[in-house]
């Protein structure tokens, strides 16, 4: 663990080197598979660099007093044995069983940090046949080790400082993998600009308890938390974070994401939120100041068969359709929002706004209870794996008015080849309109309960926000005058052409 001088890498250098490391797997695996190898290996490298950096600091202070250094090291965020560092992996990169060695190192790190890392590495196998036969697997792992041994990927705090460089790099990789994964990408990542928009709309404050019940890789939850100030004289956000994710591999990504952003106290549970909610206090669901989520759109087989006997009585307003679980998540989120003060922000497909039958009945009850605060229409093609337009619903248990604000933000975005993007001016316009809560011509409308009743509780935004652009009136006299002028010009041109043709003997 000798101390050496290092040069601080830029965020761009780190991102580029990490993305380049993916070349070790491209062609052999889909990105949806190899993302777990890259992200787990990144986390292992981070743990090792932080551990070595702390050891070097204590070594400078305490010299040869190894017993004292070991006692202090045992109190660090994460504990690593000497044979569990990245340097150990580098030393053995040419071993025939390098994949098995990496597995054992990860298993040992997990065992020595059970309170934080239990289960995080369980779904990853660096000795898997997915990586090819023994020869190909060892070659790929050696290349991966060499890529991470580059100076750009030095995650020592004394080198990268207090900036959130490693957390940003992790989020960069997740977004790149989500973009490559198509439809599957939407299952574990919400585009950052959409997360920022939702976070600003919900405006969490210091001391809030924040939850994402369908948290994926944790990006939305972290982005909401980043709206909260730090605790005095610390780099810890003054809020508590909770999440639940049903996919085990994605749950592990969320856990690592929290640690890499130094949000160690986050409670991220693994299970199906609708059928097996894990965020429980006593015999009831935990309550939160802010609940934000981008649940799976129109989930089939969400648990309709058990909804009538739900022990937490989340579906008293009605049971959503068997093949569309959107309102199951909405009702869960509303149930978990704190009484009189809790706010909910949820991203939904536009069908949630106007579908009939049971969904219409649920929608009407939520509106009559004065829970719905705003409906915000988003541009199409914002999300990974689907081009359908979506909306944000804001519910507020502490509403000051009975009106509902409708915003049509569907036409303002930056167009992209694969995906459209919201940029800062678009986000600011939406948030400003929401805060003003007033009519804005062709953009926002503050609707009364009577208006919504007249529309049979259909929330389709064009019913409330008139964005029709009348065509300019045609000046017939000017057009006629222009036509006459053009005809005169055409006559002159024809005369000149005839003259040229005559000269040529035609």
* pLDDT of the chain, 506 residues: tens digit per residue: 444 456 788 899 999 999 898 888 887 777 777 888 999 999 999 999 999 999 999 999 999 899 999 999 999 999 999 999 999 999 999 999 999 999 999 999 999 999 999 999 988 999 998 888 999 999 999 999 999 999 989 999 988 876 688 889 998 888 888 776 555 555 677 889 999 999 999 999 999 999 999 999 999 999 999 999 999 988 899 999 999 999 998 999 999 999 999 999 999 999 999 999 999 999 999 999 999 999 999 999 999 999 999 999 999 999 999 999 999 999 999 999 999 999 999 999 999 999 989 999 999 999 999 999 999 999 998 887 778 889 999 999 999 999 999 999 999 988 877 788 999 999 999 999 999 999 999 999 999 999 999 999 999 999 999 876 555 666 787 778 888 888 888 888 787 777 776 766 66
11-163 against 183-463: fold identical: no
Give residue 469's pLDDT: 56
CA-to-CA distance for 294 and 245, rounded, in angstroms? Answer: 12
What pTM, to 2 d.p., does this model score?
0.87
506 CA to centre of own chain:
73
Q: Which helix (H) or strand (E) holds 346?
A: strand 343-349
Length of the chain measured in residues: 506
CA-to-CA distance for 86 and 181, rounded, in angstroms? Answer: 29
Q: Taking phi first (over 0 means left), then psi (-120 to 50 degrees means alpha), and beta for anything else, what does residue 9 get?
A: beta
CA-to-CA distance for 113 and 105, rounded, in angstroms? Answer: 12
406 CA to centre of own chain:
24
CA-to-CA distance for 47 and 256, rounded, in angstroms? Answer: 11
CA-to-CA distance for 157 and 160, rounded, in angstroms? Answer: 5
345 CA to centre of own chain:
14
Please, what is the Cα angle at 325 between 294 and 451, to 5 degrees? 80
Give residue 4's pLDDT: 45
Give residue 269's pLDDT: 97
CA-to-CA distance for 272 and 285, rounded, in angstroms? Answer: 14
> What tokens appear for 124 in the block?
């990853």
Residues 6+ apart with CB under 8 A from 208: 228, 239, 240, 288, 289, 290
Q: Return the domain boundaries, the chain.
A: 11-163, 183-463, 472-506
By CB neighbour count within 10 A (0-12 exposed, 13-18 middle, 19+ buried), where does 19 fall? Answer: middle
CB of 195 within 8 A of CB of 220? yes
For residue 466, the tally of other CB atoms under 10 A from its CB is: 11
Scanning 63-97, the segments in alpha helix (DSSP H) are: 66-73, 86-91
By CB neighbour count within 10 A (0-12 exposed, 13-18 middle, 19+ buried), where does 261 fall? Answer: buried
Give residue 232's pLDDT: 92
Backbone angles phi, psi at 440, to 5 degrees: -130, 120
CA-to-CA distance for 109 and 118, rounded, in angstroms? Answer: 9
Give residue 473's pLDDT: 62
- Closest to 32 in 3D by CA, of 176, 171, 218, 177: 177
Widest pairwise Cα distance in the chain: 110
Give residue 185's pLDDT: 55
Backbone angles phi, psi at 317, to 5 degrees: -80, -5
Class of domain 183-463: alpha beta
Residue 228, CB-side half-sphere exposure with 13 Å CA sphere: 27
Domain 11-163: CATH architecture, name and number where available: Up-down Bundle (1.20)
- Closest to 207 in 3D by CA, of 179, 232, 244, 185: 232
Q: Are strands 404-408 and 444-447 parallel, antiparallel or unpaired?
A: antiparallel
């Amino acid at each position: 663990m000798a101390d050496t001088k290092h040069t601080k890498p830029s965020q761009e250098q780190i991102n580029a080197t990490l993305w380049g490391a993916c070349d070790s797997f491209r062609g052999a695996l889909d990105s949806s598979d190899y993302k777990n190898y890259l992200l787990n290996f990144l986390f292992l490298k981070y743990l090792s660099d932080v551990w070595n950096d702390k050891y070097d600091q204590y070594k400078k202070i305490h010299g040869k007093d190894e017993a004292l250094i070991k006692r202090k090291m045992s109190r660090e965020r994460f504990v690593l044995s000497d044979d569990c560092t990245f340097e150990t992996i580098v030393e053995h990169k040419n071993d025939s069983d390098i994949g098995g060695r990496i597995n054992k190192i990860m298993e040992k790190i997990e065992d020595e940090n059970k309170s934080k890392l239990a289960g995080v590495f369980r779904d990853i196998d660096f000795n898997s046949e997915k990586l090819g036969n023994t020869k190909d697997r060892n070659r790929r792992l050696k290349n991966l080790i060499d890529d991470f041994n580059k100076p750009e990927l030095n995650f020592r705090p004394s080198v990268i400082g207090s900036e959130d460089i490693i957390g940003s790099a992790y989020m960069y990789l997740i977004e790149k993998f989500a973009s490559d994964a198509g439809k599957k990408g939407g299952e574990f990542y919400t585009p950052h600009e959409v997360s920022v928009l939702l976070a600003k709309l919900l405006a969490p404050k210091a001391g809030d308890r924040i939850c994402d019940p369908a948290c994926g890789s944790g990006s939305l939850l972290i982005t909401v938390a980043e709206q909260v100030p730090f605790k005095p004289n610390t780099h810890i956000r003054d809020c508590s974070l909770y999440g639940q994710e049903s996919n085990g591999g994605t749950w592990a990504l969320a856990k690592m994401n929290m640690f890499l952003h130094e949000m160690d106290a986050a409670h991220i549970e693994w299970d199906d939120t609708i059928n097996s909610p894990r965020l429980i206090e006593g015999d009831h669901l935990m309550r939160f100041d802010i609940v934000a989520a981008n649940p799976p759109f129109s989930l089939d087989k969400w648990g309709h068969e058990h909804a009538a006997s739900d022990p937490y009585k989340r579906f008293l307003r009605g049971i959503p359709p068997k093949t569309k679980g959107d309102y199951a998540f909405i009702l869960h989120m509303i149930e978990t929002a704190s009484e009189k003060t809790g706010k909910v922000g949820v991203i939904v497909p536009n069908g949630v706004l106007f579908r009939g039958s049971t969904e219409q009945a649920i929608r009407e009850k939520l509106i009559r209870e004065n829970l719905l605060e705003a409906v915000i229409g988003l541009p199409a093609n914002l999300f990974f794996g689907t081009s359908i337009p979506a909306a944000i619903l804001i519910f507020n248990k502490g509403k000051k008015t009975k009106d509902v604000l409708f915003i049509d933000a569907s036409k303002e975005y930056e167009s992209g080849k694969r995906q459209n993007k919201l940029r800062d001016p678009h986000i600011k316009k939406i948030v400003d309109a929401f805060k003003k809560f007033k009519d804005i011509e062709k953009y926002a409308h503050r609707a009364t309960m009577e208006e919504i009743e007249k529309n049979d509780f259909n929330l389709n935004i064009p019913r409330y926000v008139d964005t029709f652009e009348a065509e300019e009136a045609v000046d017939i006299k000017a057009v006629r005058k222009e036509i006459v002028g053009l005809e005169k010009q055409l006559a002159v041109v024809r005369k000149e052409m005839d003259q040229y043709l005559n000269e040529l003997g035609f």
